[in-house]
Amino acid sequence: MKSLELLSTKRRLKRIAPLQLGKIFALLYGILGLIFVIPFFIIASLATPASPLPFGKACILLFPVIYAVLGFVFGVLGAAIYNVVAKWIGGIVVEVEWDREEG
- Chain segment 67-95, per-residue pLDDT in tens: 999 999 999 999 999 999 999 999 999 99
- Chain segment 8-63, per-residue pLDDT in tens: 788 999 999 999 999 999 999 999 999 988 888 777 777 766 666 556 667 777 88
Q: Which residues of 22-57 are buried (b: 16+ CB within 10 A; e: fewer)?
A: beebbeebbeebeeebeeebeeeeeeeeeeeeeeee
Residue 96 predicted with pLDDT over 80? yes
Q: Report d(CA 32, CA 86) in Å as an integer.
A: 28
Residue 1 predicted with pLDDT over 50? no
User: Is pTM, for the whole model, over 0.85?
Assistant: no
Whole-angstrom distance between the N-terminal and C-terminal Cα of the chain?
Answer: 11
| AA identity, residue 44 | A
